[in-house]
Amino acid sequence: MHPSWPDRSRLEALAGQLPDLIRFGTSSWTYPGWTGLVYESTYPATGAGARMLAEYARWPLFRTVGIDSFFYRPPSAATLASYARALPAGFPCLGKVWDRITAHTFANPREKSRWGERNPDWLNADLFLTEVLAPLREHFGEHLGPLIFEFQAIAKKDGVDAAGFADALDRFFSVLPRDVPYAVEIRNPDYLAPEYFAVLRQHGVGHVFNAWTRMPAIGEQLLLHDAITAPFIVSRALLRSGRSYAQAVDAFAPYDHVQDENPTLRADLAALARAALELRIPAYLIVNNRAEGCAPLTIAAVAERLVADGGSAAGDPLGEGRRVGE
């Protein structure tokens, strides 16, 4: 057991004090470095996703999970069925939507022959409904938390300004069913404009409060334009500002201990939790290993902070009198 790992009884006691509306989880779950912390069993490198998910869902502080693999291809019926069998009843998952629908231009190594071309299926509602939503509803409906539309940074040369992006979202969400929760994650800081938040609010779609290389801190996003736009909150704590994903992978693997504690990030996640409690809405707080080095331990630290504060929604929305820029 790593010396930084809390024992199970401490985690169970902590979980028992967390409000039900606060739903911590991680960005994916197949990390061998968590063996001994999250996993009692040792799993093979591939092919054990459902079995690991079943054990993941039993870790005391996990009440949701981010499914990143759906970003790269629509999930098959068999995959969805295996995940559904692995999870306890009512355990919500935040699946990322297939990037064929969110990529404005082809910029993935999987599409080398089309690199830099405009994607004709960007915000294709019919494709989303048939290839993404229909299988999820049929095979994974009980576990369907907010679906995350992750938009990679759109280059200025592509001519999509903040108003144009908001208009495109408006047209897209106007034709989607309203009984499914959706959330939008962006990587263009200039898109954090009033028209963007207005469109999300009109359609009941959540803004994903994300910690990413070139995005403002989560706490700064929380102060923008009535940024809570849906009857739920979604956050993805991915990276420290200024650090690339590749740099974090190289620095933090195998993700078995915290290597770069980020007090600002932890305070921002706690602020989102307090905002959710004040509004009496659920907060899905997803943490990536690349944020500090070990997502479960980051979650434990934020949970301890909330419990120490009494889980109260009262007080300064950024916590401890902190203001943007401090």
- Residue 50 confidence (pLDDT): 97
Its domain, for residue 212, covers: 8-308
1 located within any domain? no
Residue 179, number of CB atoms within 10 A of its CB: 6
Nearby residues of 246 by Cβ (< 8 Å), 6 or more positions away? none
2 located within any domain? no
54 located within any domain? yes
323 located within any domain? no
* Tally of domains in the chain: 1
Closest CA to 55 of 29, 80, 77: 29
- Inter-residue contact 92 to 64 (CB < 8 Å): yes
Element (H, E) at 268: helix 263-279
Q: Phi/psi of residue 249, each to 5°?
A: -60, -50
pTM of whole model > 0.75? yes
Read off the CATH number of the domain in which 47 is found: 3.20.20.410
211 located within any domain? yes
Angle CA 275–209–106, to nearest 5: 160
Nearby residues of 64 by Cβ (< 8 Å), 6 or more positions away? 23, 24, 25, 91, 92, 93, 94, 145, 284, 286
- Pull the structure tokens for residue 301: 């630290």
- pLDDT tier, 2 (very low <50, low <70, confident <90, very high otherwise): confident
What does the DSSP 8-state code read for residue 321? T
320 located within any domain? no
- Quote the strand ranges of the chain, DSSP E: 22-26, 65-67, 93-95, 147-151, 182-186, 206-211, 233-237, 283-287
**pLDDT higher at 319 or 110:** 110
- For 147-158, the pLDDT digits (tens) are 999 999 999 999
pLDDT at 180 over 70: yes
